[in-house]
Amino acid sequence: MSFERPCCYSQHRSRRLCLSIRGCLELMSRSGISIKGKKAVIVGRSNIVGLPVSLLLLKADATVTVVHSCTPDPESFIREADIIIAAAG
Residue 8: enclosing H or E segment and its boundaries?
strand 7-9
φ, ψ of residue 59 to 5 degrees: the values are -65, -30
Top-confidence residue, 30 or 1: 30
Mean pLDDT of 59-77: 96
Give me the pLDDT at residue 54, please. Answer: 93
Domains identified in the chain, total number:
1
Tell me whether residue 20 is in a domain: yes
Q: Find the CATH number of the domain harbouring 49.
A: 3.40.50.720
- Provide, rounded to the nearest whole percent, the portion of the chain with pLDDT above 70: 82
At position 28, the amino acid (one-letter code) is M
pLDDT at 16: 66
Angle between helices 50-59 and 19-30 (to 10 degrees): 40
Residue 75 lies in a domain: yes
Greater confidence (82 vs 18) lies with: 82
With a CB cutoff of 8 Å and minimum separation 6, the contacts of 80 are 39, 41
Q: Which residue type sits at 33?
A: I
Q: Give the type of residue at 76.
A: S
Residue 2 located in a structural domain? no
> Residue 25: pLDDT above 80?
yes
pTM of structure: 0.79
What is the pLDDT averaged over residues 29-35? 93
